[in-house]
Amino acid sequence: MFFLWLGLTLLAAIYFITVRLTSFDPNMNLVGRDSSSVIRQIRKIEELESVNLSNTIIHFTSNNCSCTQYSREHKTSINKKAKLDGFSVININLPSGLLTIIPSTPSILILSEAESLLYFGPYSVGLACSQSNGYVESVLQNYAQGFNSDLIISDVKGCYCNI
């Protein structure tokens, strides 16, 4: 009886974990895109059309995305480091149904001083979207050491809300 209970509990846990994992780019909008085309598309968002994006981090969220709560602490940590490193921070809340290159939220775009892409994608991967399995800190650290990663992450699963 115990093994039956254990087996059912394990199956239930696997089911609920699998249901919560979503592909960041399910329609493969970012596959084969180069960084300049991604930036051009993102610039079409009204709030970003005429903004200087030199050394800028843009956080993308959407209304009613339950995954945003899991990335709040990570986002705060990123903002603290970014501001110390001289980055501006912009928060964009994307309305439902907006046609954009951004496949899911929460997501982040990091641009260099020359407005070239350093990173675009999710904060991290996995269920909790925690700092321990993220890319952003590595990108910022590498940029501070003179490296431009030009990194677009799209083929990952985690807690994301598709647009």
Is residue 68 within 8 Å of residue 123, measured between CB atoms? no
- Measuring CA to CA, how many Å separate 152 from each of 19, 107, 162? 25, 11, 17
pLDDT at residue 11, as a whole number: 57
pLDDT band at 1 (very low <50, low <70, confident <90, very high): confident
**Residue 155 belongs to a domain:** yes
Tokens describing residue 82: 């970014």
**Residue 10 belongs to a domain:** no
**Residue 16 belongs to a domain:** no
DSSP 3-state assignment of 75?
A: helix
**Residue 98 belongs to a domain:** yes
| Tally of structural domains, the chain | 1
pLDDT, one tens digit per residue, over 30-59 is 988 999 999 999 998 888 988 999 999 999
Nearest by Cα to 114 from 54, 39, 56? 54
**Residue 9 belongs to a domain:** no
Q: What is the CATH number of the domain that holds 151?
A: 3.40.30
**Residue 13 belongs to a domain:** no
pLDDT, one tens digit per residue, over 57-66 is 999 998 888 8
124 lies in which domain range? 22-162
**Residue 110 belongs to a domain:** yes
